[in-house]
Amino acid sequence: MNTLIQKPEEVAEGHYRLRIETPATLVPRPGQFINIRVSTGTDPLIRRPFSVYNYEDGALEIIFRVIGKGTEIMRGYEAGRGIDYIGPLGRGFSLCEHSSVLLVGGGVGNAPLYYLARELKKKNNRITYIYGARSARYIYCKDQYRARADDFAAVTDDGTAGLKGFATTLADEYIRKNAYDRVYVCGPTVMMAAIAASASIAGAPVEVSMENYFGCGVGLCSGCTIETTEGLKRACVDGPVLNGNIIVWQSLTD
């Protein structure tokens, strides 16, 4: 059991940051996730996966959006309580060096890209960041993101922050104009599918972090299997970060 350092902090409407004390031996890689057992009872039963938002000085942070019974319980956690989690789990992002990279996040899917941007910065990459959200009130920790990026743009569906429109449109424009060495995306499936397509046309490698429903998070149940051109992959152990060009997106977006 790892201790919750502070009460969940609301960083944007309905979005919370959780800080958990973590053994120094378990340093996560960007893109990895932890699988939290929300309650000690049997309801809710299945663990909830959350990608690592940040890791520093033995404290691991996640961002969660309250969407159901599990996250509703988590919102009410008090500081000092034990958090039953397994992790860090899964395959994370690959880290380039001295490269020009584009990071595109959608909604709560921006979370793993913060830790990624931090680590990429250490490796002397030039980072362009597109932060997509439905509305200004759902954007969290914007200044922290901005501070890690060489170029930063926010895009909202309703235009209340940054540009009005979709992150996919701006990403497509950027990808056409610039020769990125790598594109990293995390967000809704349709968004990842569109950006993977843009990157693929431009010939840029693209990595996406899948967020489909996980049964166990450790590879036991094959509940999160994804169709790829290289056969079936379990998102929890073969991912969650996968090469965006091998995913059969149509099988996920129907």
Partner 1 sequence: MIDTSVQIGPLRLKNPITVASGTAGYGEELSRFYDIGALGAVFTKGLSLKPRPGNRGPRIMETPSGMLNSIGLENVGLERFLGEKLPFLLEHGATVIPNVAGHSIDENVELCAVLSHTPGIVAVELNVSCPNVKEGGMAFGTSMPVFTRLVEAVRKVTAVPLIVKLSPNVADIAEFARGARESGADAVSAINTLLGMKIDIKKKKPHFYNRVAGLSGPAIKPVAVRMVYEIFAKVDIPIIGIGGIADTGDVLEFLMAGASAVSVGTMNLVNPDAAMACVDGIAAYMRSEKIHSLREIIGVAHPTA
User: Residues in the site for partner 1, rule: CB under 8 A?
Assistant: 37, 42-47, 86, 212-216, 218-226, 232, 237, 251-252
Residue 124 CB-half CA count within 13 A: 2
Identity of the residue, 45 or 79, whose beta carbon is nearer to partner 1 in the bound complex: 45
Identity of the residue, 9 or 230, whose beta carbon is nearer to partner 1 in the bound complex: 230
Per the CB < 8 A criterion, the answer to whether 136 and 144 are in contact is no
Q: Is the dihedral of CA 220, 226, 228, 231 positive or negative?
A: positive
Identity of the residue, 87 or 162, whose beta carbon is nearer to partner 1 in the bound complex: 87
**Radius of gyration from C-alpha coordinates of the chain:** 17
Could you tell me the smallest distance in angstroms from the CB atom of residue 23 to partner 1?
A: 17
Could you tell me the smallest distance in angstroms from the CB atom of residue 149 to partner 1?
A: 34
Identity of the residue, 78 or 254, whose beta carbon is nearer to partner 1 in the bound complex: 254
Could you tell me the smallest distance in angstroms from the CB atom of residue 83 to partner 1?
A: 14
**Rounded Cα–Cα distance for residues 163 and 26 (Å):** 39
Whose structure tokens read 């969290």? 140
Could you tell me the smallest distance in angstroms from the CB atom of residue 67 to partner 1?
A: 13
Q: How many CB atoms lie within 10 A of CB 72?
A: 12
